[in-house]
């Protein structure tokens, strides 16, 4: 049977070169980085080398890189850590199309008396920046924005958003989990205060990520305990994950231009083929181009449900998602599709196809034919 994985926004397989590196760390570098003997020093050195490598990949200073367990923790940490460090500011602003890591972290704070103010998006998912500028108040602590949307691929204009935040003297946290690898990130050219990244979205291991914290930003810890990560994130470091992530980031950065070209070519080709077999299809989010994550095709069909499509395609060796993986067991359409007002006729039949390194044009005739058969069967 075919085995065509098209769910790279949910997660990516670990690059074989990263696997090899991690296997060697697993075997030989077992020391606790806090130990004072040679085994500990060796492990600690690996972490610091990885920190430098990670920093270089995003144009940051190594001191600004803080390792943690991934995108969800980093985002919770950014928002709650700022709140703890700046208790007088009680408003958090986000867009209506954030990942649940953000919205649920903010909801936790709402229970403690904070205000969550939402900025609307247009039909393509772009934030209303005039609205953003107008609503930032004296009470605003942070604006938290998803750079590349995990469901519909919209790339926000972070440069403009950063300028607004700077002008209004509020912090900017950016969820860059889907962005790294598909957008060339250079923090030396952007006024971002905090940035969240997660290794399993760029061919690194799961359960490891970073929170970039710009020098000078006051942030409290989320997890209390030992003095790891500049006293900001306690717990024995995931040396294996850290080394794997930094190497994955390095590899990704080296090939980003050709990777983006590859993903764009795949998106254009498959979208054209799908339009030919299903003229009712809608592309959710911006048109394919520089304002859309190149590997994301979010599509909606009439007269089918996402879950039945996913199941039928999976039976035929094609693995895709509906909206985001985290909402896939919910029968409600995702808040993102609702926020961009996908028509009622289409909103229940959405599919998220996300390409990766090993995706191939040669699979497209099979995918299009299979989708046509499945649509015929289901309708």
* C-beta of 12 vs 198, nearer to ligand PLP: 198
Torsion sign across C-alpha atoms 336, 340, 344, 348:
negative
Binds ligand PLP by CB under 6 A, chosen from 33, 205, 209, 285: 209
Binds ligand PLP by CB under 6 A, chosen from 12, 15, 55, 71: 71
Torsion sign across C-alpha atoms 263, 268, 269, 274:
positive
For the residues of 340-376, what is the DSSP string, one character each? TT--TTTTTSEEEEE--TT--GGGHHHHHHHHHHHHH
Angle at 63 between CA 158 and CA 256, to 5 degrees: 45
Encoding tokens for residue 155? 């790339």
Binds ligand PLP by CB under 6 A, chosen from 57, 72, 334, 359: 72
* C-beta of 141 vs 177, nearer to ligand PLP: 177
For residue 356, the minimal CB distance to ligand PLP (Å) is 14
The pairing of strands 209-213 and 65-68 is antiparallel
For residue 16, the minimal CB distance to ligand PLP (Å) is 21
Q: Please identify, among the stretches 31-39, 114-122, 170-178, 341-349, the one whose residues bind ligand PLP according to the rule CB under 6 A.
A: 170-178
326 is catalytic: yes
Instruction: Give the residue at shortest CB distance from ligand PLP.
Output: 71
Residue 15 contacts ligand PLP per CB under 6 A: no
Judged by DSSP in three states, 149 sits in coil
Residue 121 contacts ligand PLP per CB under 6 A: no
Nearest Cα to Cα of residue 336 among 352, 320, 315, 312? 352
CA within 13 Å, CB half, 302: 7
Burial label for 233, CB within 10 Å (0-12, 13-18, 19+), is buried
Residue 334 contacts ligand PLP per CB under 6 A: no
Residue 99 contacts ligand PLP per CB under 6 A: yes
For residue 298, the minimal CB distance to ligand PLP (Å) is 13
The count of chain residues that interact with ligand PLP, using the rule CB under 6 A, is: 13
Q: Please identify, among the stretches 71-79, 84-92, 225-233, 294-302, the one whose residues bind ligand PLP according to the rule CB under 6 A.
A: 71-79
What is the 8-class DSSP label of residue 173?
E
Residue 178 contacts ligand PLP per CB under 6 A: yes
Return the residues of window 51-70 that contact ligand PLP according to CB under 6 A: 70
Active-site pick, 129, 268, 326, 378: 326
Query: Please, are residues 56 and 194 in contact by the beta-carbon 8 Å criterion?
Result: no
Nearest Cα to Cα of residue 239 among 4, 31, 95? 31
For residue 206, the minimal CB distance to ligand PLP (Å) is 7
For residue 146, the minimal CB distance to ligand PLP (Å) is 5
Binds ligand PLP by CB under 6 A, chosen from 198, 296, 298, 300: 198
Encoding tokens for residue 232? 């900001």
Binds ligand PLP by CB under 6 A, chosen from 170, 177, 192, 342: 177
The number of residues making up the chain comes to 379
Residue 101 contacts ligand PLP per CB under 6 A: yes
- The site map against ligand PLP for 235-274 (x = CB under 6 A) is ----------------------------------------
Judged by DSSP in three states, 242 sits in helix
**Strands, DSSP E only, in 184-225?**
194-198, 209-213
Positions marked active-site? 326
Q: Which residues bind ligand PLP (CB under 6 A)?
A: 70-72, 75, 99, 101, 146, 150, 175, 177-178, 198, 209
């Amino acid at each position: 049977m075919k085995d065509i994985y098209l769910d790279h926004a949910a997660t990516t397989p670990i690059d074989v070169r990263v696997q090899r590196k991690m296997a060697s760390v697993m075997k030989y570098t077992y020391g606790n980085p806090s130990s004072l003997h040679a085994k500990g020093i060796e492990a600690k050195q690996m972490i610091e080398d990885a920190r430098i490598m990670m920093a270089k990949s995003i144009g940051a200073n190594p001191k600004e890189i803080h390792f943690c367990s991934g995108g969800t923790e980093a985002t919770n940490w950014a928002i709650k850590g700022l709140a703890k460090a700046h208790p007088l500011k009680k408003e958090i602003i986000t867009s209506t199309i954030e990942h649940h890591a953000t919205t649920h972290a903010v909801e936790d704070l709402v229970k403690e008396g904070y205000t969550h103010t939402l900025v609307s998006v247009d039909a393509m998912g772009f934030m209303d920046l005039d609205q953003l500028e107008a609503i930032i108040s004296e009470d605003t602590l942070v604006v938290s924005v998803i750079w590349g949307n995990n469901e519909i691929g919209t790339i926000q204009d972070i440069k403009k958003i950063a300028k607004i935040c700077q002008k209004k003297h509020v912090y900017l946290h950016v969820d860059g989990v889907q962005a790294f690898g598909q957008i060339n990130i250079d923090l030396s050219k952007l006024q971002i205060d905090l940035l969240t990244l997660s290794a399993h979205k760029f061919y690194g291991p799961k359960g490891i990520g970073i929170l970039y914290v710009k020098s000078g930003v006051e942030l409290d810890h989320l997890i209390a305990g030992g003095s790891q990560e500049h006293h900001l994130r306690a717990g024995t470091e995931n040396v294996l994950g850290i080394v794997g992530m930094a190497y994955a980031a390095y590899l990704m950065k080296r090939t980003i231009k050709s990777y983006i070209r590859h993903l764009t070519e795949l998106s254009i080709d498959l979208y054209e083929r799908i339009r030919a077999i299903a003229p009712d299809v809608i592309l959710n989010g911006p048109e394919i181009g520089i304002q859309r994550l190149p590997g994301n095709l979010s599509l909606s069909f009439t007269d089918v449900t996402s879950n039945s499509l996913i199941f039928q395609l999976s039976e035929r060796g094609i693995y895709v998602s509906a909206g985001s993986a985290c909402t896939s067991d919910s029968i409600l359409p995702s808040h993102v599709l609702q926020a961009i007002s996908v028509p009622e006729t289409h909103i229940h039949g959405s599919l998220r196809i996300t390409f990766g390194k090993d995706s191939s044009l040669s699979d497209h005739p099979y995918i299009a034919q299979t989708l046509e058969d499945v649509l015929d069967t289901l309708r």
